[in-house]
């Protein structure tokens, strides 16, 4: 079957063929992929950065955010049937470790991730445990259902930070930052500001009809945020840029008592003025990873059902899966929101 | 009256005289000081470090943790009478700013602190707003009542971090770390470990009958903590050392999902591996300052009533107030837990 | 000055005159009333029911939800000036009791309420402590500012129950239920249902563009709610009817683990099947009274700034204050949402 | 093998024989029972009350709180091996329903309970899913390990109610109430009071060295509780009696803002004064059922490791399993705390 894979240990990503998965094993299902989103993680793998080159074993079919139709069901799978449309959690948790057993499967110590540690969803078919599936209501279109996972990252962050009635600053206007902005708005934030230097992304933020979009490279960005927040600064900061300097600037203007959720991964250590900007201001820095299984999924479903217009604005491109290179080039240029690949038009689909 | 004051803008602290306070103003009371604790903040002022030399205007009577007897009451004070024994919150919050009005007076933007911004409690008498008082139950002895404030810092940290049934690591065995250890034990922590290189302080920690006391300078300290915590590491870290290296080491062994409360003030910026050790582990870093007004005081009172033996062990010295220099020397040597100064024996007490 | 008062200890409410308040006392301000809402409490007093006839001492100017302009300021008032537009918390808490000091002033044991225990806001002027004031942003119109208090009741209930991403059932479509529906929608509820037998009120609920409005007198109301909630029932119930039978029916269909906020005051004891419907379902019943001082006010302000259209729909009548009888008649008929009285047109305004 | 079973649909309980379980099925294990506690639920079944006669299908081996040694392991079981000592959660949740998938397996809509819906643990052997097991640390003795389940009920209740630094009233001094008292003490409650009319149980409460034990049948019980709580009443009430009158009395004296956890199952509907005693006091009533899977188990383990002396005092009888009738008679008399049956001495043990 057609796949998009890391076949060589160097920068790039390539189309490749792989045999269709065998009949699914016990507790597993096979899903025919309809559509899949390109994640920042896929882009890291494409760039073959330190993290990905240290973890990925080539060849590896990538991709982990997707929607599809169940085409085969393994032994002992209950509650699902062939023909159902599903998305899926890409983190396959062990279910047995201390963290899984105490409601924290998102930090399972034995996690395996599809598209990273095992064959992913940029393929005509993907095999996944039934316990990772999420049934998609009919009212949610395929392109939205394909991005349950990144909307879930944003939702986990927003839910953790508790934005309702608060001034919210989102540092970084990539897809997750934009989804977070949309969710914060839908959850009743007092104001939502996106800080993003890339003007293509800032334009998407503008289209969400937020309270403020600022360019951190311009001198007035801080004063604009302070004006909007009655001089106190944001009460919630959602850090998705991974940029240490931006984090420090955000801490400097954050209101005393603010909650700062951290989702972006800095490239290296970050120097922080913990004394003056965290301890004495009573600020909380909350590391956020993955999605709560599966409470976050339920929350995302609720959001998607109510706010399709906002999601449409963040998904800027739907490309045929075969044009995946164009997708990665758009990410190189930063000229996009979320990109979704359409796997339905693959020639010879469902034939190995 | 006798006071202990910063009379010169250089290292040191001196006895000094000051007129008795006038009759207390509206809403204010005068308190005859019985006993007062020496705080790390007092020691910073003694050392005339960057923070204190930038903030304190000499001459300034220092001291802010104390117990005493109300000797005079200003106009419009209700609910208190002369002769009552009280301790008091040293942060005088404005009551009118956004933070005060939404339950966060501990991060009031107009706070004034006795012993820092206005005359303090290392004196025969101190004047303070009635709204800052806390009546002390008879069952709590003077030496304990004198340290409501630092036990309150520790309580605020422990309550914020939620230690019950959790493995708790306390980084730094000074008085606040030791009080925190005692509170964590009393609140049902699964295990309590104190990490402290100073052997005098480690000995006090040992006397609290904790699960583990480790010396971070010895090579086996990490393995001992991991052994105690079934290999997962502590689920709660209480950082009171202000030592960046210790914080990084604690983050490295903290369990995924751990809560790390930060109360120690580092001397400068701290470099943190936020990506691997905070974001991807789903760890929360919670800056803690001051005390919740006045929920924390109520919690401290409950703790003190039940655990006098633990507090006794952390208070290692009760010195006559006139021997305050000996107190600061003990802190220089690190050869002490909490030091309390006794103001009851001052000659000519209550005469200007 | 013109007032609306309970002058006789019998059913009814009457216009009356009262001298203008004297110059405000220390810490007090005088507010020239612009507009004031008629509360369910005012209607209880009008009806002279068991509660009101047991508590009110006639003659008493009623009314407690209002907006006005500060016209005089007492000694020691800081942070306010003549000419500012303000609303105010009607519960005057003591500030000194255990509850006030631990962040729970809304359950102060010494509360005095304007319009109940002391002269109210259905008057040309009202005197109130400065610490109870809330400055109103220019963007909020007078009619909205007049109802900060009941929107605050609804906000306290919704915030306590945590509605985001949840199926929410509101039992009772009076003004507070309708405000709660609007807030639940604005806070990202998964679905919002209002249950209300009165068709005039149901029509207002319909105008809020909710997910469902049901008539509990019709046989299909339960099945409609179950259909909307995937058969699980509502995850949050907001009970504002005070109707015991409705509460029992709501408990019967509430999802296991549901949160049921109780704000409505039943006329007498209510029989509940606690075993099967509360304990074994793991349901929480949360009594909600008043407003968090002043966190709720901040939340209401945020909501009002973002959702003026929803508030407009719930305020169905703005009447000249002199036509107050018409307001109470409308409440008799149940043919209204929130009614606001306009005090700006009073003849001889500001003259005694 | 020897079992204790409900063999006839009438009051009583009988010894019975049953074939040893077959080799355990996929995901299942067989456990050789060491010891098992008699639960209030077992006593309900013994009495053949309305609930049990409506649910139990005879013959049924009862018993669901136990410790034992794994003697056989089914296919696909990982992480466990023959010879390990384990206790187990008796609620077998489906793992697939909405509640299981969002962290609320304790209110799973498809729960099956051992000893109620399928063969129980009052037997030489019991079969149970591996995912329900809990490994018991060596330091916990068999008799304690046998009661993980009821201590877990108590722990779930205490954890939900949040007792630290609060005045706690426990209504009902049966085994769960007594365990709750012990846990509240270990978690740093400000005071712990047990209210229990049965003098044998009150004596056990006394042995736990609590702050107060009161007899609700005596006229001074309320005043004693108010005296202990500075006149405010308890801030936390843990209701384990299922007695409606006792609940009403507790609500009458509970402090405003109190949390009231409900675990006892009343025999029928309970009349509550919701208006004055719940809504206007801002009180929360929290239904508590089962145990959080498996966070509660982790918490119980922590408690058991630290407080063996308290558990010893609540377990008043350890009887040979063959003397089970004596156990039920003791419960008839109310002359006991928790009773544990010892299954190690069964003749012909491990032979069918």
The contacts of residue D205 (CB under 8 Å, 6+ apart) are D173, D178, D181, D194, D196, D213
* A252 touches B: beta carbon within 8 Å: no
> Which residues in chain A have Cβ-Cβ distances shorter than 8 Å to D84?
none
* B91 touches A: beta carbon within 8 Å: no
Number of residues assigned to chain B: 352
pLDDT given for residue B350 in this prediction: 42
pLDDT given for residue A352 in this prediction: 39
Contact B131 C293 (CB under 8 A): no
Contact D299 B187 (CB under 8 A): no
pLDDT higher than 70, residue D48? yes
pLDDT given for residue D347 in this prediction: 55
Contact D295 A26 (CB under 8 A): no
Contact A165 C190 (CB under 8 A): no
B237-247 mean pLDDT: 97
> Each residue of C50-73: pLDDT tens digit?
999 999 999 999 999 999 999 999
Catalogue the active-site residues of A. Answer: 41, 44
Are B238 and B170 in contact by the 8 Å Cβ rule? The answer is yes
Residue among A311, A289, A309 nearest A300 (CA): A311
> How many Cβ atoms sit within 10 Å of the Cβ of residue A333?
10
| Alpha-carbon torsion angle A255, A261, A263, A268, nearest 10 | 60
pLDDT given for residue A73 in this prediction: 98
CA angle, A150 as apex, A146 and A155 as ends, to 5°?
A: 120
* A98 touches D: beta carbon within 8 Å: yes
CA separation for the pair B241, B169 (Å, rounded): 12
Distances (CA, A) of D21 to D71, D83, D124: 11, 17, 10
Q: Which chains touch B (3 or more CB pairs under 8 A)?
A: A, C, D
pLDDT given for residue C352 in this prediction: 38
> Each residue of D261-313: pLDDT tens digit?
999 999 999 999 999 999 999 999 999 999 999 999 999 999 999 999 999 99
Tokens describing residue B124: 């025969």
Distances (CA, A) of C98 to B91, B256, D168: 19, 38, 17
CA separation for the pair A164, A138 (Å, rounded): 29
Contact A26 D76 (CB under 8 A): yes
pLDDT higher than 90, residue B20? no
Contact C293 B76 (CB under 8 A): no
CA separation for the pair C103, A232 (Å, rounded): 22
* B54 touches A: beta carbon within 8 Å: no
Contact A76 D294 (CB under 8 A): no
Contact B188 D186 (CB under 8 A): yes
CA angle, D133 as apex, D77 and A111 as ends, to 5°?
A: 60
Q: How many CA atoms lie within 13 A of A153 on its CB side?
A: 27
Phi, psi for A237 (deg, rounded to 5):
-120, 130
pLDDT given for residue B345 in this prediction: 76
pLDDT higher than 90, residue C137? yes
Tokens describing residue B78: 């209700």
Give the 3-state secondary structure percentages of chain A, helix then strand then coil, rounded to 5: 35, 25, 40
pLDDT given for residue A9 in this prediction: 97
Phi, psi for A48 (deg, rounded to 5):
55, 55
Average pLDDT, chain B: 96
Give the gap in angstroms from C-alpha B226 to the nearest C-alpha of chain A: 15
Phi, psi for D18 (deg, rounded to 5):
-150, 150
Q: What is the DSSP string of B109-134?
A: TT-EEBTTTB--SSBSEEEEEGGGEE
* Nearest chain A residue to B229, by CA: A98
At C292, is the secondary structure helix, strand, or coil?
Answer: coil
pLDDT given for residue C350 in this prediction: 43
* A103 touches D: beta carbon within 8 Å: yes
> Each residue of B286-315: pLDDT tens digit?
999 999 999 999 999 999 999 999 999 999
Q: C229 an active-site residue?
A: no
Which residue's entry shows tokens 């294990």?
D29
Catalogue the active-site residues of B. Answer: 41, 44
Q: Beta strands B28-37 and B65-73: pairing type? A: antiparallel
Least confident of A283-292, B81-90, B338-347, C269-278: B338-347
> Which residues in chain D have Cβ-Cβ distances shorter than 8 Å to A103?
103, 292, 295
Q: pLDDT-derived band of residue D20, with 50, 70 and 90 as boundaries? A: confident
pLDDT given for residue D294 in this prediction: 97
pLDDT higher than 80, residue A340? yes
Q: pLDDT-derived band of residue A350, with 50, 70 and 90 as boundaries? A: very low
Q: Which domains does chain B have, with CATH numbers?
A: 2-150+291-351 (3.90.180.10), 153-287 (3.40.50.720)
pLDDT given for residue C199 in this prediction: 96
pLDDT given for residue A164 in this prediction: 98
pLDDT higher than 50, residue B29? yes
> Which residues in chain D have Cβ-Cβ distances shorter than 8 Å to C287?
274, 278-285
pLDDT higher than 70, residue A295? yes
Sign (positive/negative) of CA torsion D82, D88, D90, D91?
negative
> Each residue of A92-115: pLDDT tens digit?
999 999 999 999 999 999 999 999
Distances (CA, A) of D32 to A133, B339, C291, D19, D67: 36, 58, 57, 14, 8
pLDDT higher than 50, residue A187? yes
pLDDT given for residue C349 in this prediction: 46
DSSP-H helix ranges across chain B: 40-47, 50-55, 98-101, 142-145, 148-161, 175-186, 199-207, 221-228, 244-253, 274, 295-306, 308-314, 324-333
Q: pLDDT-derived band of residue A349, with 50, 70 and 90 as boundaries? A: very low
> Which residues in chain C have Cβ-Cβ distances shorter than 8 Å to D270?
271-272, 274
pLDDT higher than 70, residue D234? yes
Characterize B285-294 residue by residue with b for buried, 16 or more Cβ atoms within 10 angstroms of its Cβ, and e for exposed.
bbbbbbbbbb
* A96 touches D: beta carbon within 8 Å: yes
A191-204 mean pLDDT: 97
C291-299 mean pLDDT: 98
CA separation for the pair C32, C37 (Å, rounded): 15
Return left, alpha or beta for C12; rule: phi > 0 is left, psi -120 to 50 is alpha, else beta: left
Task: State yes or no: ipTM above 0.95.
Answer: yes
CA separation for the pair B218, D48 (Å, rounded): 63
CA separation for the pair A228, D200 (Å, rounded): 66
Q: pLDDT-derived band of residue C347, with 50, 70 and 90 as boundaries? A: low
pLDDT given for residue C345 in this prediction: 76
B176-202 mean pLDDT: 98
Contact D188 B187 (CB under 8 A): yes
* A306 touches C: beta carbon within 8 Å: yes
CA separation for the pair C145, C159 (Å, rounded): 20
What percent of chain D has pLDDT above 90? 96
pLDDT given for residue B351 in this prediction: 42
Q: pLDDT-derived band of residue B347, with 50, 70 and 90 as boundaries? A: low
From the list D78, D95, D103, the residue facing A103 with the nearest CB is D103
> Which residues in chain C have Cβ-Cβ distances shorter than 8 Å to D98?
230, 232
Q: Across-strand partners of A133?
A: A88
pLDDT higher than 90, residue A284? yes
CA separation for the pair C340, C143 (Å, rounded): 7
Give the gap in angstroms from C-alpha D50 to the nearest C-alpha of chain A: 34
D200-229 mean pLDDT: 98
> Each residue of A150-176: pLDDT tens digit?
999 999 999 999 999 999 999 999 999
pLDDT higher than 70, residue D33? yes
């Amino acid at each position: 079957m057609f796949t998009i894979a890391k076949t060589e240990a160097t920068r790039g990503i390539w189309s490749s063929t792989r045999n269709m998965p065998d009949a699914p094993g016990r507790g597993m299902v096979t899903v025919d992929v309809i559509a899949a989103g390109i994640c920042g993680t896929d882009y890291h793998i494409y760039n073959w950065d330190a993290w990905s080159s240290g973890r990925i074993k080539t060849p590896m079919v990538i991709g982990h955010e997707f929607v599809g139709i169940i085409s085969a069901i393994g032994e002992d799978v209950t509650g699902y049937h062939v023909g159902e449309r599903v998305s899926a959690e890409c983190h396959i948790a062990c279910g047995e470790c201390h963290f899984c057993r105490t409601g924290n499967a998102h930090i399972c110590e034995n996690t395996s991730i599809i598209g990273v540690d095992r064959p992913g969803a940029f393929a005509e078919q993907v095999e996944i445990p039934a316990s990772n599936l999420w049934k998609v209501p009919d009212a949610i279109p395929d392109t939205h259902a394909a991005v349950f996972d990144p909307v879930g990252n944003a939702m986990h962050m927003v839910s953790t930070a508790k934005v309702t009635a608060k001034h919210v600053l989102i540092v970084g206007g990539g897809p997750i930052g934009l989804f977070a902005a949309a969710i914060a708005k839908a959850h009743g934030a007092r104001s939502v500001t996106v800080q993003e230097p890339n003007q293509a992304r800032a334009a998407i933020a503008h289209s969400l009809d937020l309270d403020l979009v600022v360019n951190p490279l311009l001198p007035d960005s801080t004063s604009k945020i302070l004006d909007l927040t009655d001089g106190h600064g944001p009460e919630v900061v959602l850090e998705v840029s991974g940029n240490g300097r931006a984090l420090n600037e955000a801490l400097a203007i954050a209101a005393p008592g603010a909650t700062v959720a951290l989702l972006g991964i800095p490239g290296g250590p970050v120097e922080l003025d913990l004394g003056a900007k965290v301890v004495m201001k009573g600020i909380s820095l909350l590391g956020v990873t993955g999605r709560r299984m599966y409470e976050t999924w339920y929350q995302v479903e609720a959001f998607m059902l109510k706010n399709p217009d906002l999601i449409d604005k963040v998904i800027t491109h739907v490309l045929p899966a075969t044009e995946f290179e164009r997708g990665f080039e758009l990410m190189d240029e930063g000229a996009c929101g979320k990109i979704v690949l359409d796997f339905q038009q693959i020639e010879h689909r469902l034939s190995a």
